[in-house]
Structure 1
Amino acid sequence: MDDQSNTSHRAPRKFLEPRRLALLASVAGLSMAVLVIGPGAYRPLNLPAWTASAQAAETAQTPQGFGDLVAKVKPAVISVRVKIDDDGQNTAVSERDSQGSDPDQSGSPFDQFSRQFGFGVPNGMPHRHQIITGEGSGFFISPDGYAVTNYHVVDHAESVQVTADDGTIYTAKVVGTDPKTDLALIKVDGKKDFSYVKFADQPPRIGDWVVAVGNPFGLGGTVTAGIVSARGRDIGDGPYDDYVQIDAPINKGNSGGPAFDMNGNVIGVNTAIFSPSGGSVGIGFDIPAATAKLVVAQLKDKGYITRGWLGVQVQPVTADIADSLGMKQARGAMVDNPQDGSPAAKAGIEAGDVITSVNGTAVKDSRDLARTISMMAPGTQVKLDVLHKGEAKPVTLTLGEMPNDHQANAGETQQKSSAGTHLGLSLAPAGDVEGAGQKGVVVTSVDPEGPAADHGFQTGDVILNIGGKAVANVDDVRSALTEANAAGKHSVLMQVKTADATRFVAMPLAKG
């Protein structure tokens, strides 16, 4: 149960009047008397020297306030106001409506992770052909008027206006957008001396101070402060999630606004919050500066984004898969299937290979691989370390350009562990079953109580190989399982073809 729930059941606290308050402190056996001067006032006597030094050191390390920083960066932060015809089916508006029209959003994806749009929709749901206005935030990144905001703030905008910190209103145009990272670049023309800020060159550390500036609820420039709570957060929002988590309060209308480090550099773009109630609970998510810099540079240059393309369908390496492959750690991205004609296929990468590093940097999981490759330009030469049939294999290839209909599939297949003593499958050679093809063995039935059912097997699936060896009949399956058992393995890797894809499943072996 969370703190808020616990609080509701606590007995009320009893507060003493200041005039009745007396304090007596004991630190490591050292008593320190406190002299009561008057109602609510006190002064410690005989303060030890080491305590004073410690307090002085703490004071020197703790910011006395953020006034100087805010004065420096706030002029670069803008309010972004858009007008949208609801016939344009703006996704931001529809998502805002789904959250705001019903106080009980138990079925809404925004029940947990909520975009902060700040769109004003009078009288509930908008009527057809209604012009809807919405407000977000943004910030100038150059003196000639280029500014960053969120894609969902300006998506399908009929017109865009920005209000600078001094209250001046300008008309802006959308230069380019990237829905996959939820970033947009807009431009204000006619002036060359806007105040602007820069992206940080280094990522923040967990625990570093952070200051968020934006336009919550359309109030105008507002500042909040907190710390960096975590990095590398994946909230299931997109294929390249890599958010910086902060606890500085961000609310409706903060979308697209910047989060600053103590040097006045932008460490992230405020984008989403965790919000069971619709308001800030101190868990916000920022697009990291490194991602924003790369995306914004392409939007400014071309108006759109091109991404590197490896051409593989991948899945995470689970503990069972790692064990079946003899890997010490469950890391890397397992190739389900290289796409025909892709850079990976041309370089000899095969189904069942595990990509463990890119240019010498370890790959944590399938999503990490997708993010890493997507941030590279088409035509980039990369060196991959690949585990191929149990042996390390270096592969050098040139990335292609991701086609519009090909997106890195980093979805994680949920697999349940099992301690079953049999597979729970009925099998037949694929050639004996009409429509199953000529390779492998087809699953003719699945025991709903068996481990195979727990691991997602369905009637009609075709097992192509087990432990890296092709199987053509039931005897091949039995032989492969016996061999894996004799080798002391706890699980065995199976390549399975479904109706529209192939995947790898680590099946637990029989005990005893």
Structure 2
Amino acid sequence: MMRRWMSGLMFACAITLTQPILHAQAKDLPDFTELAEKQGPAVVNISITSVVHGGGTIGFPGMPNDENLQEFLRRFGIPGMPGMPGQEGGQDYKTQSLGSGFILSSDGYILTNAHVVNEADEVLVKLYDKREFKAKIIGADKRTDVALIKIEATGLPKVTVGDPNALKVGEWVAAIGSPFGLENTMTAGIVSAKGRALPQENYVPFIQTDVAINPGNSGGPLFNLRGEVVGINSQIYSKNGGSMGLSFSIPIDVAIDISNQLKANGRISRGWLGIGIQEVTKDLAESFGLKQTSGALIAGVEKNSPADKGGLEAGDIILKFDGKPITTSSDLPRVVAATKPGKVVPVEILRKGASKTLQLGVGEMPSEQPEAAATSKEPTKAESNKIGLTLRELTPQQKKKLNGKNGLLVIESVGAAAQAGIRRGDVILGLNNNESQSVDAFNKQINAVASGKTIAVLVQRGDSTLYVPIKVK
């Protein structure tokens, strides 16, 4: 009897003690109602109409031409299927897709994503009060995925711009947009990470959040709890096409800089060096005799580029650019791109273990990078070396295509070299910062390396160069 009474007492105490804690937690949760009321009117729905010439809608046979579904498929790169209306040889066909945006100024300038308005024949903006306007595309920058559009209206509600640099990981944020066409939908979460680098996205230090972002949210604003825009919702990581708690936003300061250039000039001017870079991995650091893995390793320098004229060389590791530390290789493209072309800046490098500072004139990034010549793949009866490479010297014609560089053509790659990723058709440019003059000289260098040591082989593949670490067995 006593045991039953005691257990009941303990249960009652648990309820009594837990209730104040739950009330305290509820009291500390953020209230988004004021943010929604004040900022919602500055968020717009964007409808895009595109004419496909001789092509079809995006999707599968028998699928209805639903604009929300089309946006979902378009955003995640699902192509059209044979046998659909408007496929090659058919008639022109109109497609529609949806996105979001937000009013930057009361006279009708609106920010959104470049991928939302790319290839649009007509852009229609729907405001919070249901008014609709045709928009003009002022400009779009694919490299940062930012676009500026304009509607002819005045006295519009506009957003307040915040400072994304003041954001802290764990801070509450909210998004407003039109997922799947559901206008003015608010979702909330926290900042998961800052300065996130994504593959093929070299110019944006993304804000990562766990805010639910879905197709149709693209181009919409990310707010902090003060009701300030801190980012533009741009990408998600997903295995099923829906939100999985991995969303990425473009910092608003990056977007504002792009929009100002688009408004003033209709184009973007970026700093440029003309180098290929890669991460300093643990293996590469070991091969270069380094203790740290920070910095950006130069894998190649384009001839007559600002980097070439300024004295940068393949194998240099850039530690600071214009006084800004380069912790990882992804830091460098952003810092260089943000530098005004023509400016001369100090660049601190590590060259063969010694620190050195160069004065470098920054060039302007060309619209298209020059294309490097391909190498031939002629057979040979040469034998493979200690790491599994069968090589031969380049012909004069091949050297000419590589701007006179010395190199060794990979005829066959097996063993340690193949495991490291070197493949047939690659061109070996050097070993541990030493240029590859001949097959014999290269093989002698390899034979002199003790077993268990890691070497760094500089490889040219197509239009890029990279260092490949190989452990000698």
Contact map agreement 1:446 1:457 (CA 8 A) in 2 = no
Q: Which residue does the alignment assign to 2:75?
A: 115
Q: Which residue does the alignment assign to 2:252?
A: 289
Q: Which residue does the alignment assign to 1:472?
A: 437
For the pair 1:377 / 2:340, whether they are aligned, the reply is yes
Aligned partner of 1:61: which letter?
D
Identity %: 35
Q: Which residue does the alignment assign to 1:454?
A: 419
Contact map agreement 2:224 2:230 (CA 8 A) in 1 = yes
For the pair 1:81 / 2:44, whether they are aligned, the reply is no
For the pair 1:133 / 2:96, whether they are aligned, the reply is yes
CA distance in 2, matches of 1:436, 1:180: 33
Q: 1:468 to 1:229 in 2, by over 3 A?
A: closer
Q: Which residue does the alignment assign to 2:32?
A: 66
**CA offset digits 1:345-375 (Å, max 9, x no partner):** 1111011111122233332333321222223
**CA offset digits 1:389-440 (Å, max 9, x no partner):** 221111222211101112899xxxxxxxxxxx93123455x38x67565975
Q: Which residue does the alignment assign to 2:387?
A: 423
Q: CA deviation at 1:170?
A: 2.2
Q: Which residue does the alignment assign to 2:456?
A: 493
Q: Which segments of 5 or more consecutive residues in structure 1 lack a partner in the other structure?
A: 1-23, 35-42, 104-109, 410-420
Q: CA deviation at 1:152?
A: 1.6
Q: 1:137 to 1:339 in 2, by over 3 A?
A: same
CA distance in 2, matches of 1:248, 1:498: 39
SS of equivalent to 1:70: helix
CA distance in 2, matches of 1:343, 1:101: 54
CA distance in 1, matches of 2:96, 2:433: 58
SS of equivalent to 2:203: coil
Contact map agreement 1:308 1:400 (CA 8 A) in 2 = yes
Residues 25-174 of structure 1 mapped to structure 2, 5 A cutoff: 31-33=10-12, 44-45=15-16, 47=17, 52=20, 58-63=25-30, 65-87=31-53, 97=58, 115=75, 128-174=91-137
Q: 1:202 to 1:233 in 2, by over 3 A?
A: closer
Q: CA deviation at 1:69?
A: 1.3
CA distance in 1, matches of 2:407, 2:124: 62
SS of equivalent to 1:494: strand
Q: Which residue does the alignment assign to 2:190?
A: 227
Q: CA deviation at 1:182?
A: 1.4
CA distance in 2, matches of 1:218, 1:210: 22
Q: CA deviation at 1:318?
A: 2.2
Moved more, 311-320 or 465-474: 465-474
SS of equivalent to 1:33: helix
RMSD: 3.8
Q: CA deviation at 1:184?
A: 0.6
CA distance in 2, matches of 1:304, 1:349: 29
Q: 1:193 to 1:492 in 2, by over 3 A?
A: same
Q: CA deviation at 1:210?
A: 1.2
Q: CA deviation at 1:307?
A: 1.0
Q: Which residue does the alignment assign to 2:328?
A: 365
Q: Which residue does the alignment assign to 1:323?
A: 286
Contact map agreement 2:416 2:472 (CA 8 A) in 1 = no
Contact map agreement 1:436 1:442 (CA 8 A) in 2 = no
Q: 1:387 to 1:164 in 2, by over 3 A?
A: same
SS of equivalent to 1:372: helix
Aligned partner of 2:29: which letter?
T
Contact map agreement 2:413 2:423 (CA 8 A) in 1 = no
**CA offset digits 1:1-58 (Å, max 9, x no partner):** xxxxxxxxxxxxxxxxxxxxxxx999xxx93516xxxxxxxx944x49xx84x66654
SS of equivalent to 1:299: helix
CA distance in 2, matches of 1:205, 1:99: 43
CA distance in 2, matches of 1:25, 1:297: 69
Q: 1:136 to 1:88 in 2, by over 3 A?
A: farther
Aligned partner of 2:211: which letter?
A
Which among 185, 195, 202 is matched to residue 148 of structure 2? 185
For the pair 1:332 / 2:311, whether they are aligned, the reply is no
Aligned partner of 1:490: which letter?
K
TM-score normalised according to structure 2 size: 0.81
Aligned partner of 2:40: which letter?
K
CA distance in 2, matches of 1:160, 1:201: 29
Aligned partner of 2:437: which letter?
A
For the pair 1:258 / 2:221, whether they are aligned, the reply is yes
For the pair 1:404 / 2:367, whether they are aligned, the reply is yes
Q: Which residue does the alignment assign to 2:306?
A: 343
Moved more, 436-445 or 289-298: 436-445
Aligned partner of 1:504: which letter?
Y
SS of equivalent to 1:320: helix
Aligned partner of 2:127: which letter?
A
Q: CA deviation at 1:376?
A: 2.7
Q: Which residue does the alignment assign to 1:8?
A: none
**CA offset digits 1:202-252 (Å, max 9, x no partner):** 252222111110122223211111122233334435343532222222223
CA distance in 2, matches of 1:435, 1:247: 54
SS of equivalent to 1:422: coil
Q: Which residue does the alignment assign to 2:67?
A: none
Q: 1:443 to 1:237 in 2, by over 3 A?
A: closer
Contact map agreement 2:271 2:338 (CA 8 A) in 1 = yes
Q: CA deviation at 1:298?
A: 1.2
Which among 251, 260, 273 is matched to residue 310 of structure 1? 273
TM-score normalised according to structure 1 size: 0.75
